[in-house]
Amino acid sequence: MELSNSSFFFLLFLLLLLSPIPSFTRAFDVPTLSFNEGYTHLFGDGNLVRSSDGKSVRLLLDRYTGSGFISSGLYNHGLFSASIKLPSNYTAGIVVAFYTSNGDVFEKTHDELDFEFLGNIEGKEWKVQTNVYGNGSVSRGREERYLLGFDPSKEFHRYSILWTAKNIIFYIDEVPIREVVRSGAMGGDYPSKPMSLYATIWDGSTWATSGGRYKVDYSYAPFVSEFTDLVLHGCSVDPIQQTPSTGKCHDVSTANYATLTPERRLTMNNFRHNYMIYSYCYDILRYPVPPPECVVFPSEKRRFRDSGHLKFGRHRHHHHSKGHSRTTSSNNQAVTGM
Ligand SMILES: *[C@@H]1O[C@H](CO)[C@@H](O)[C@H](O)[C@H]1NC(C)=O
Ligand SMILES: *[C@@H]1O[C@H](CO)[C@@H](O)[C@H](O)[C@H]1NC(C)=O
């Protein structure tokens, strides 16, 4: 049977209308939580604002303070996800971070998986960074930076961190943008202790936008980021004994989103080809020998400088190679040169 385009779209439309999917995220088919069900206020007094239905939360930065929240529980593996809308207009120097960490529990040997939005100047392209630290390896940053290809301050997009015993996948909407596969050679650098989920907004004037060239301008304050469709889907553990809390352990390693099918891998490679602008794997000034999990594609490597930054030519924008990176842990302000 052949369907004309219009009847196909009409049927699709009907299906969408009829599907009862209100409290599940469409992308991964996992339940969403209200703020009170899964999270608590971390810092910034009046700058965390809950929506009246309790399902969304705003984090504000003004000249007095940023703000943040943390999951009430610790998770040993899971899918951590939120739809996020970033502050608009002039946001240079502002860092919005969405990350997992256990820095409050394991100060010296913490693990961390990051999404960090690095502020923007209206009209330029937004950049996001992902990073991975294991067992306190803050001197071995594993940063990658990408352009987003859309304006994340205009509408909500979903950002997800999948962490299993075997791999880590960062997703933007349904697009996998990075996978780290655990290898024996990574040793303790692969995150392996239970983590909490954090979301924060703070002043990163010294490094965030073009390596600190553009500072926060508080005449545009307050800067407002919004979080909704909150997901904590994993194995909730007892913080003291680190054993699974009864009834709340979901094994995400067998979930559909934990595997990169050939189709997903193609989508990921396309994203990376089009949007990745820095990779620690190609930064031979920093890592003469790329860390063990790096998969170096010669054809891709040729597009990057020895500093790990994309060579000019492909993209319209300019980026500057004076960036610094640092961990987002509130208790760890280490700055590592790039
Ligand atoms: C950006 O902020 C400036 C100063 O507050 C304002 O004049 C301008 O209209 C804003 N632009 C947008 C797109 O909101
Ligand atoms: C993590 O670091 C601590 C302290 O440096 C070390 O004793 C431990 O063996 C490391 N764990 C792993 C799995 O490498």
Show the domains of the chain with their CATH numbers.
Answer: 20-331 (2.60.120.200)
Report the nearest-CA residue for atom 11 of ligand 2: 188
What pLDDT shows up at residue 196?
97
Catalytic residue status for 116: yes
Helix (H) or strand (E) holding 114: strand 112-117
- To the query of whether residue 122 is one of the catalytic residues in this protein, the response is no
pLDDT at 238: 77
**Which residue(s) pair with 24 in the sheet?**
31
- The predicted-structure confidence for 272-330, as pLDDT tens digits, reads as follows 999 999 999 999 999 999 999 999 989 899 999 999 999 974 454 444 433 333 333 33
Is the model's pLDDT at 169 over the cut of 50?
Answer: yes
Q: What's the confidence (pLDDT) of residue 323?
A: 36
For residue 227, which phi and psi values (nearest 5 degrees)? -130, 130
Contacts of 108 by beta carbon, 8 Å cutoff, 6+ apart:
136
Q: Is 89 in the pocket of ligand 1 (CB under 6 A)?
A: yes
Q: Which two tokens stand for residue 165?
A: 């015993």
In this prediction, residues 215-239 reach a mean pLDDT of 94
| Nearest ligand, CA 153 | 1
Is 82 a residue whose pLDDT tops 50?
Answer: yes
pLDDT of residue 186: 96
**At 5, is the pLDDT very low, low, confident or very high (cuts 50, 70, 90)?**
low
Q: Is pLDDT of 146 > 50?
A: yes
122 touches 90 (CB < 8 A): yes
Tell me the ligand closest to 184's alpha carbon: 2
- Please name the residue whose Cα sits nearest to atom 4 of ligand 2: 109
Q: What is the pLDDT of residues 8-59, one digit of tens each?
A: 555 555 554 444 444 566 668 899 999 999 999 999 989 999 999 999 999 9
pTM for this model (two decimals): 0.85
Question: If you measure from the C-alpha of residue 81 to the centroid of ligand 2, how many angstroms do you get, rounded to a whole number?
Answer: 28
Please name the residue that has the structure tokens 């992902």. 130
Q: What's the average model confidence in pLDDT over 140-144?
A: 96
pLDDT of residue 318: 43
pLDDT for the residue 327: 37
Q: How far is the CA of 124 from the centre of ligand 1 (A)?
A: 15
- Residue 150's contacts (CB-CB under 8 Å, 6 or more residues apart) are 157
47 Cα distance to chain centroid: 22
Nearest CA, atom 12, ligand 1: 89
Nearest CA to ligand 2 atom 9: 188
> Which ligand has its closest atom nearest to the C-alpha of 137?
2
Q: Is 256 in the pocket of ligand 1 (CB under 6 A)?
A: no
CA 137–ligand 2 middle distance (angstroms): 10
Give the span between the Cα atoms of 57 and 183, in whole angstroms: 37
Which amino acid, 181?
Answer: V
Mean pLDDT within 99-128:
94
Report which protein residue has its CA nearest ligand 2's atom 14.
188
Largest separation between any pair of C-alpha atoms in the chain:
64
**Of 2, 37, 107, 112, which one is the catalytic site residue?**
112
pLDDT at 338: 29
Q: Which of 12-26, 87-101, 147-161, 173-187 has the lowest mean pLDDT?
A: 12-26
Report whether 95 contacts 328 (CB < 8 A): yes
The mean pLDDT of 198-216, rounded to a whole number, is 88
